[in-house]
Chain A
Amino acid sequence: NAGVMQNPRHLVRRRGQEARLRCSPMKGHSHVYWYRQLPEEGLKFMVYLQKENIIDESGMPKERFSAEFPKEGPSILRIQQVVRGDSAAYFCASSPPGDRANEQFFGPGTRLTVL
């Protein structure tokens, strides 16, 4: 049973480009969470999704950021018109169906660098 997969592991973008980060949850998991870790800062919650539904996006910046978890395929975190301040490690976690407070399993992260 593979763990949570994220790709790419490293992503370099120039200012103004789009960044797409992918997350494949563990088999049998239907809940996906995205977190951001800015350089020298702690982790911050961004968004919580179930299949085809955004449950909680209270941590998402109001503009340029969006997330989806389609019926088929990985969850996507999309950042449009990236700026230098978007440079961070983005972690995805997944948990099994049920209580949101279930144990979450983290992916290896995608390190985004905006030039």
Chain B
Amino acid sequence: KNEVEQSPQNLTAQEGEFITINCSYSVGISALHWLQQHPGGGIVSLFMLSSGKKKHGRLIATINIQEKHSSLHITASHPRDSAVYICAVSNNDMRFGAGTRLTVKP
């Protein structure tokens, strides 16, 4: 079993839909990160959080430390949100989930 599990693996949505991507982890962490990777592109750090909730534009990330679970929400999704979203946890090193491939159709 991977230390960082994401679901779903693949997600297709219609433009405007509310999207949720989940991440569960089984190790102790200092922080949890949500990253975005466009096809063939680099990696952008979206959020780093260790408790509670953070919001940036249409993106919201939450974490429940007791349940070892985090969610990334995208409101009013748009085709340009299509990317792979990666959950990662850090303590002494960084462990990555396998990623969720999101496709938003117009």
Contacts and interface: CB of A to CB of B under 8 A. Distances in A.
A100 B90 contact: yes
Contact of A103 (B42, B43, B45, B95): B45
Nearest to B44: A106
Interface string B11-49: 000000000000000000011010100000111110010
Nearest to B31: A101
A60 B54 CA distance: 34
Determine the interface band of chain B, counting residues with CB < 8 A from chain A: 20 to 34
Contacts of A69: none
- The DSSP consensus for interface residues of chain B is strand
Interface string A91-103: 1010000011101
Interface string B76-100: 0000000000101011111111110
Given A101-B91, A103-B33, A106-B35, A44 B96 contact: yes
A42 B45 contact: no
B97 A42 contact: yes
A104 B47 CA distance: 10
A109 B44 CA distance: 11
A56 interface: yes
Interface string B45-65: 100100000000000000000
A43 interface: yes
A102 to B, nearest CB: 8
Contact of B93 (A41, A56, A103, A106): A56
Given A58-B93, A100-B92, A101-B91, A43 B86 contact: yes
A45 B94 contact: yes
Given A42-B86, A45-B93, 11 more contacts: A42-B97, A43-B86, A45-B95, A48-B93, A56-B92, A91-B42, A101-B90, A103-B31, A106-B42, A106-B43, A106-B44
Interface of B: 30-31, 33, 35, 41-45, 48, 86, 88, 90-99
